[in-house]
Structure 1
Amino acid sequence: MAQELATLAQKTADRLAEQRVGAVVAALAEDTVEIRGSGRTGADHGGAPGPDTLFEIGSVTKPFTALALARLASGGTVGLDEPLGDLLPDGTTVPSRDGSRITLRHLATHTSGLPRLPRGMLLQALLRPTKPDPYADCTAEALLSGLARTRLGAAPGKRFRYSNLGAGLLGLALARRAGTDYEALITREICAPLGMTDTLVTVDGARAERSAQGHSARRRPVEPWDLADLAGAGALRSTATDLVAFVRAQIDGGPEGLSEAIRLSRSVEHRTSRFAWVHLGWMAHRLHPRQGGHLQIWHNGGTGGFSSFVGFDPEKRVAVIALGNTQRPVDRPAFDLLRTLQKEHG
């Protein structure tokens, strides 16, 4: 099985590297995992990317933020249905609609009614299209000030509407309740229990030398993103090795203390169609019976210079992680590999 997995992972990494500067792919089936890289890291210290190369993972950060919510909720620190306003500074105005208030559950399932981006950000992007990090000005003060002037597109809980703003506010609110910052919260609640030492917001020292350089879709080097206080929406950096540990916990249940949170995160469902739904932090769908009827739970991500994908099937115990250091989605080859693993381990 190991040789077969290694071959599939390498073929997918090579396929991704054809149109990207570099890529790393991890393929997991039951207790076997193979990680392969292709192309270049693009950094001065160069070489091919591998299991311990750090990438910006963009919105793959959101399952971490949602799992932190489940962890704090299972421990009684917060409630899933606690209003967002209860975790923010006194005097903060949080929009509501039709008498419904935004809760933490709504933020983690993209059903808050909030827009995709913070108020005024789209205009800023149009006025300054070459700005290296469009989220750099998303300080807590700016986010909460804009929130007070934001109108909801639907009553909370009614409709799925993907929102970076909502996920970022969730991370900000959870860190505030926990009395720490977002990075320390994720380290304490998720990374430390799983032995993940390379999943973080701020990269320095030796890790900087293991970091890939981000590139635009035209393969030109770009500046990194940090997302300021919207970190919960997409600020994490990670490696294929760490993400394997994260997804293995999703499949196997994780260590004591985290397992309850994982169960809670997946017990929450908001249907978006007959075949698709969202959990806390994860997208999910079941393929049509003609495609095998397999379950796929996943999230993708993208920043100015990186793209990412994590997908798994807890029923077949298979998973795929794909990381690229180019602003070009890795989803299609990653989904293709996931379907291949599902067929072969059905």
Structure 2
Amino acid sequence: MKTKTCSSQAALTYGSQPALRDRLVLEAARLDAPDVVLAVTRRGKRTVVTGGRGPEPATPREALRYELGSLTKTYTVLLLATLAAEGVLTQDDRLAAHLPPTLRLPHRASHSITLRHLATHTAGLPRLPYALVPGALLRPYRSGYARYDTERLLNAFAATRPLHPAGRRWAYSNFGAALLGPALARAAAVAYPALLGTRVLRPLGLTGTTLGPGPEGADAVGYRADGRTPVPATDMGAFCAAGAVRATPHDMLSYLEALLNPAGSSLSGPLKEVQVPQLHRGGRRGETHTLTWFQHPAPGGPLLFHAGATFGQQAFCGYHPASGTGLAAVATARGRRCPLVPVAYELLYQLAEEGH
């Protein structure tokens, strides 16, 4: 596998951390994908390494925008916390209060679901609307989300009987996270893409982060598990709040740096709010969850992280506040041959252990 520092300029900029750069080169070599980027921030100093067994793209790999999949949820929940801080809504508002009044909800349990329940995956909703499941199983590389508009999403919610009362147990749900999109948009009277842009992306200076495809050559191309068959860009339809964000690795680092140093941001309160633990599941060795991040114990303090995947790409973001360390990783393939998430998690844990 061919690896390199992200550019000659970047090599000069990050030359103060050659040992870390060399380590990232070795870690990148463990990942079998056409394009790989590993990017670390440690107390404000960045080290970025790119590699991949595919041909070098016309746009440098570190400048491409990658599909973040479920990492999008962390941006959406930060938007929720921001709107709550502004007084537009509260996290414990009932979802039904921010949906069209003409939408009938025949199931009593649906009326108890709050925005916090959606953010923390405790709303009792299935992972996907039932109508999407057969297509997801039969056509694993084709996005069924593209045909799902907001009206269909809301009608699916109305027709779905929650699996259990809201707040009783944790069950990961793209369905629930997607519903935050129209709910936040209705509360603020602004479409979700524009709302995320003005309330989150712009204040954080994330100019390389979008919700849709950019001009030709701006976005990374995903591939099937074989690393050879390209996959069309993912259209998330009404599920944009659950999985539509695209970002450059440098913007991902900027996002992590804001979370590591909330005091330096205009979104200080919301950035702190999304890191507060909300629930623990699975006994002593189970999972702790903040409003949007998975949280694990680590030397010196907790490690927070989230991963995401689309039909041909995968991404990871994690950070360790005690050591001031954050790691962003992306790859343009999925499957056993490209274990991006465990490699990135293991690397972040080791860096946290060494740096606390």
Distance 1:221 1:75, change over 3 A: same
Q: Which amino acid aligns with 1:74?
A: A
Q: Kindly tell me: are residues 247 and 120 of structure 1, through their superposed partners in 2, closer, same or farther at Cα, counting changes over 3 Å?
A: same
SS at match of 1:157: coil
CA distance in 2, matches of 1:225, 1:108: 22
**From 97, 100, 103, the counterpart of 1:89:** 100
1:215 maps to 2:223? yes
SS of equivalent to 2:322: coil
The residue correspondences of 1:37-116 to structure 2 (distance < 5 A) are 37-39=50-52, 46=57, 49-94=60-105, 101-116=112-127
| Aligned counterparts of 1:314 and 1:93: Cα–Cα separation in 2 | 44
Distance in 1 between the 2:61 and 2:35 partners?
Answer: 10
2:11 is matched with none
* Structure 2: distance between partners of 1:307 and 1:88: 32
Deviation at 1:339, TM superposition (A): 1.6
- Counterpart in the other structure of 1:340: 350
Within 5 A, what are the aligned runs for 1:1-346?
2-16=17-31, 19-39=32-52, 46=57, 49-94=60-105, 101-126=112-137, 128-129=138-139, 132-205=142-215, 208-219=216-227, 220-253=229-262, 255-273=264-282, 274-275=284-285, 276-287=287-298, 292=299, 295-328=302-335, 329-346=339-356
Structure 1: give runs of 5+ residues left out of the alignment: none
Letter in 2 for 1:27: V
Q: Aligned partners of 1:327 and 1:131: how far apart in 2?
A: 11
CA deviations on 1:176-199 (whole Å, 9 max, x unpaired) are 222222221211111111111111
- Alpha-carbon distance between aligned partners in 2 of 1:130 and 1:344, rounded to the nearest angstrom: 40
Residue type of the partner of 1:2? Answer: Q
Q: Give 1:250 shift.
A: 0.6
Alpha-carbon distance in 2 for matches of 1:213, 1:267: 35
Q: Does the aligned pair in 2 maintain the 1:201–1:226 contact within 8 Å?
A: no
Identity %: 33
What is the CA RMSD across the aligned residues, in angstroms? 2.1
TM-score w.r.t. the length of structure 2 is: 0.88
| Alpha-carbon distance between aligned partners in 2 of 1:99 and 1:144, rounded to the nearest angstrom | 12
Consecutive unaligned residues in structure 2, runs of 5 or more: 1-15
Q: Is the 8 A contact 1:164 1:233 kept in 2?
A: yes
Runs of 4+ in 1 over 4 A off after TM superposition: 94-100
User: Deviations for 1:25-47, whole angstroms, at most 9, x for unmatched residues?
Assistant: 101211211111101666xx825
1:316–1:342: 8 Å Cα contact kept in structure 2? yes
Aligned positions, number:
335
1:31 to 1:293, Cα distance in 2 relative to 1, 3 A: closer
Deviation at 1:135, TM superposition (A): 1.0
Contact map agreement 2:66 2:330 (CA 8 A) in 1: yes
Q: Which moved more, 1:131-140 or 1:74-83?
A: 131-140
| TM-score, with structure 1 as normaliser | 0.91
- SS of residue in 2 equivalent to 1:10: helix
The 8 Å contact of residues 95 and 101 in structure 1, kept in 2 or not, is answered as no
